[in-house]
Amino acid sequence: MSKLDFIKKLYNGKNCYSDHMNKDELGFLHISSGVEPLVSDMLDKHKLVFLTGNPGDGKTFIIKAIEPCIIRNNVFVKTDFNEVTNYADAARNIVDLYVEKKPAVFAINEYPFLRLCKEIKRINPDIYNEIMRAKKSAITYELSEPIRHIAVVDLNERNLLTKDNQLLDTLLTKMTDLLSSEPVHSQALKYNLRALQSTEIKRQIVSLLELASSDCEHFAVRDVLGAISFMLTACTMDEYEGQYYYSAIFEGSNELLRAIQKFDPIYLSVPSLDESLWNGVINEGWLMGAPRKWPNDSSFEDDVDAAVECFKEIKRKYYFENLDGQGLLKLQPEEIRKSMEIFTAFDSQKKKIKERLVRSINKLFLPSSDDKKQLHIWTTHRYDLSQEAAVAISSKSVDSSELEIKMPRPADWLQGMEYMPNHIILKPKAGDVPVLTLDADFLRTLDAVENGYPVGLLAPQYEQAAAMFLQQLDNYGYAEENDDGEIILASRINSSKKTVLIQDGKYDFEEGEE
């Protein structure tokens, strides 16, 4: 197999499984991970380690990478549960290893793992319970408990696209070096390999791939390998023949490439720049040479669609290959950056983040509200569920000091695994329920509300989740009546409010905006 064919087959995971690779191929595709020393340390301590996850997550790669540890400790290894025909026997074998305190490591996909655990539960419920505790406590909000004899490392929790990980830069270098080591006949591939020698272009590509992780979605190793493979070699495939990397990266269909597509620079509107790119007046700053043909070329006079396609190509080229392209990168949606900052700055800005969340939840029901000290218990009434409720009413609230926010993190025994939290929770300090889970999309929705975006144009499920949480806070007894029996009547249409006060048994009405 030629090196080009080897790289091409990485796309869509066709060549990403280690079972059929030779030592050189394994060495090339090996992605160093913080999981490897963690597993080695556990095996040195004679633990049973279950490496779980989806196909292509790198489970077998990790086992092969820690071969010296496995040999040193005479570790029992099982890497393919697809060939298991008798799960009862496999379960009994694991129970025996546990009782004899022998180290073992198992690479197992999610469904076989659940099936195996079912058999273990039947044979030895205590060992089953220990496996479940290890699995549930791996990612925690609280102080972590140490593992006993069993560890479950779920690679679905691993995020290889974090900014402090050099994975992407390393893979880009590896693949371009390998492809450049044999004769290249495709002119487009030659162009791609030459472009990837530019530090500036490579930095733009890495930044774009990192943006894909902003939804905190898990991408398997095969997704990352496939995305880079397709970007470089799509130009040698019949369907995409001659397509340069800066367009191919927005055309592929694996999980990571689909996530990248929404960050296509053609969606970033800069009227003055777009006009200049259309008219071909930007001739400076091109790292790989200015475009040879512009959308205003006379050959496109009778073919508007072709002119538009030309414009898309040039804008993508500008994004990656012009010295001013970084400015366009900074125009990617602000709410993405802000939602990611919540995760990265969580520990140092907890109070500020909590106040912002309280205020934005209040704004879901009264857009003009600026209250960050009290989380109001809002009730809405409507007869037609297809329409936005016009009025919200609140007579109770919860002091924000009675609430806390928490972010999941790996247990102490998993420290070192690449991890990016995908949500935070808001809950009462005094109890475990109720809990409002805020994922990246929810946080972006609240940020849009903070910036004045009309609530009626947002996805309704987040308002519904917030309303349910508020009602549960009241049901669990955390809410208190407002001072002076205050009742807030909020108009969600014009963001005004009326306040009813009950003093000395009499109603007093106030009106105004917050």
**Summary mean pLDDT of the chain:** 89
Cβ–Cβ < 8 Å for 329, 207: yes
Confidence at residue 460, expressed as pLDDT on a 0 to 100 scale? 85
The helix/strand/coil state of 51 is strand
pLDDT of 2 higher than 80: yes
Distance CA(30)–CA(421), nearest Å, equals 25
pLDDT of residue 220: 82
Taking CB atoms within 8 Å and a gap of at least 24, the contacts of 14-20 are: 16/56, 16/221, 16/222, 16/225, 16/226, 17/55, 17/56, 17/60, 17/222, 18/60, 18/61, 18/64, 19/60, 19/79, 19/80
Highest mean pLDDT among 9-18, 22-31, 66-75, 385-394: 66-75
User: Which tokens belong to 304?
Assistant: 């508007």
pLDDT at 486 over 60: yes
CA angle 317, 198, 296 (to 5 degrees): 20
Note the pLDDT of residue 512: 55
**CA 334: distance to chain centroid?**
16
- On the question of pLDDT at 240 being above 90, the answer is yes
Mean pLDDT of 187-213: 92
Is 232 or 166 the better-scoring residue by pLDDT? Answer: 232
Q: Which residue has the tokens 């995305």?
A: 227
Average confidence (pLDDT) over 58-70: 91
pLDDT on residue 57: 85
Query: What's the rounded mean pLDDT across residues 488-496?
Result: 81
Q: Residue 178 pLDDT > 80, yes or no?
A: yes
How is 285-351 classified by DSSP, letter by letter? SBSS---S--TT-GGGTT-HHHHHHHHHHHHHHHHHHBTTHHHHHTTS-HHHHHHHHHHHTTTTSHH
CATH 3.40.50 boundaries in the chain: 32-157
Is residue 395 very low, low, confident or very high in pLDDT (cuts 50, 70, 90)? very high
Q: What is the mean pLDDT of residues 387-392?
A: 73
Q: How many CB atoms lie within 10 A of CB 479?
A: 22
Query: What pLDDT score was predicted for residue 505?
Result: 65
Mind listing the pLDDT tens digit for each residue in 96-106? 999 999 999 99
Q: What is the pLDDT of residue 308?
A: 96
Does the pLDDT value for residue 15 go beyond 80? Answer: no
Better-scored residue on pLDDT, 77 or 420: 77
Peptide bond into 410 cis (omega under 30): no
At 94 the pLDDT is: 97
Q: Is the separation of the CB atoms in 466 and 495 below 8 Å?
A: no
Instruction: Give percent above pLDDT 70 in the chain.
Output: 92
pLDDT surpassing 90 at residue 232: yes
Tens digits of residue pLDDT in 435-462: 999 998 899 899 988 888 888 778 889 9
pLDDT > 90 in the chain, percent: 60
Q: What band does 166 get if pLDDT is binned at 50, 70 and 90?
A: confident
| C-alpha–C-alpha distance, residues 492 and 449, integer Å | 13
pTM: 0.82
DSSP category for residue 495: T
Output the pLDDT for position 159: 85
The average pLDDT across 254-281 equals 92
Average pLDDT over every residue of 85-90: 93
Decide if pLDDT at 14 tops 60.
Answer: no
Query: Which of the four pLDDT bands, split at 50, 70 and 90, describes residue 359?
Result: very high
Q: What is the pLDDT of residue 334?
A: 72
Is residue 383 predicted with pLDDT exceeding 50? no
What is the pLDDT averaged over residues 69-78? 97
* Confidence band of 212 (pLDDT split at 50, 70, 90): confident
Confidence of residue 23 (pLDDT cuts 50, 70, 90): low
Reported as a pLDDT band with limits 50, 70 and 90, residue 511 is low
CA dist 343 and 398 (Å) reads: 25
- Report the 10 Å Cβ neighbour count for 143: 7
Q: Which CATH class is domain 32-157?
A: alpha beta
What type of residue is 421? P
Give mean pLDDT, residues 174-193. 94
User: What band does 385 get if pLDDT is binned at 50, 70 and 90?
Assistant: very low
Look at residue 19 and tell me whether its pLDDT is greater than 70: no
Question: Residue 326 pLDDT more than 90?
Answer: no
- CA atoms of 8 and 481, how far apart (whole Å): 65
Position 504 scores a pLDDT of 66
* pLDDT (average), residues 381-395: 68
